[in-house]
A = this chain, B = another copy of it.
């Protein structure tokens, strides 16, 4: 049994770990694959050292099989393929009004408690979604970011025939674009990085460089003069926040996916004048995982192409440092099998 421990200062070491026997309501998993998320790279860079208790096993984009059931767990059998929705809402209160996935006391498994970069992982059974038999466990590891995209598109109420602009072509932006397209929208991806634009184009997405293309004019042209129905702001860039309202039609919608650490200037006049709507979107709800699993199982999206590399757990430190030196990688998976 091995586990990868984040120890601060861009240091991750693989050492002997110990299996945690599942308590009541828990399940011990044999982890299959776990993707490296942008949040994991933030942790690696020390940006979340106040929150993470070192040494910390991180990782939250996992596929796995059930290894051992704790007392009272039903609905799962040893060997079942599963994915983990890494949200622990056991501190939820009535003041959260039922919005469990963003409750005030939410603990994120893999940040606030041990994560999936290990062979054996014990989690609450309520975090599990059973995957169809025979699912590709590499693709299943993409369910977590895919569920984010499903949540964003659902929150934005994307309808067939709508014009959607996705600003930012990293892994989440690409997934949002793919899910919005699958929902029937015409999608324009706005991305300044040429590699990412080429990558998106290979996936069948229309990708433009906002430094070269007049995105507002393009939206007008594609919509018969109305403007875009919806903008997904996934970039976190100041220029995106400043111009996103320009792109929209009357009653157009913005979904805020990016994390803006500081207040940022927004054109509120456009909100008034065009009666715009802006919706924040964070993580996912169970139905988003259900949809993500359906999309993976049905091979409805070109997800295979998003997996840039797969590295064994022993190589996790070099996988993290490699992501540091390249902005071209989409998703790097860690193979956590023993």
Contact = CB atoms under 8 A, between A and B. Distances in A.
A275 B99 contact: yes
Contact of A268 (B94, B250, B263, B267): B263
A281 interface: yes
Interface residues of A, number: 46
A269 B259 contact: yes
Interface in A266-282: 266-282
Q: Count chain B CB atoms within 10 A of each CB in A241, A250, A259, A260 and give the residue with the most.
A: A250
A216 to B, nearest CB: 14
A93 B272 CA distance: 20
A256 B280 contact: no
A102 interface: yes
Nearest to A241: B268
Contacts of A278: 271, 277-278
A286 B253 CA distance: 23
Q: Count chain B CB atoms within 10 A of each CB in A223, A225, A259, A280 and give the residue with the most.
A: A280
Contact of A94 (B94, B224, B251, B281): B224
A226 interface: yes
A111 interface: no
Contacts of A99: 250-251, 275
A304 interface: no
A272 B263 contact: no
Interface string A220-254: 00011110000000000000011000000111000
B268 A256 contact: yes
A29 interface: no
Contacts of A267: 263
A268 B264 contact: yes
Contacts of A273: 102, 280, 282
A275 B155 contact: yes
A272 to B, nearest CB: 5
A97 B225 CA distance: 11
A219 to B, nearest CB: 12
Contacts of A270: 280
Contact of A250 (B96, B256, B257, B275): B96
Contact of A97 (B93, B97, B250, B263): B250
A75 interface: no
Contact of A251 (B97, B241, B266, B277): B97
18 contacts: A95-B224, A95-B225, A95-B226, A97-B250, A97-B251, A102-B275, A241-B268, A256-B268, A259-B272, A263-B265, A264-B266, A268-B280, A273-B280, A274-B280, A275-B280, A276-B279, A277-B278, A277-B279
Given A95-B223, A263-B269, A266-B266, 16 more contacts: A94-B224, A95-B224, A97-B250, A99-B275, A155-B275, A241-B268, A258-B268, A260-B272, A263-B267, A264-B266, A265-B265, A270-B280, A272-B281, A272-B282, A274-B280, A275-B279
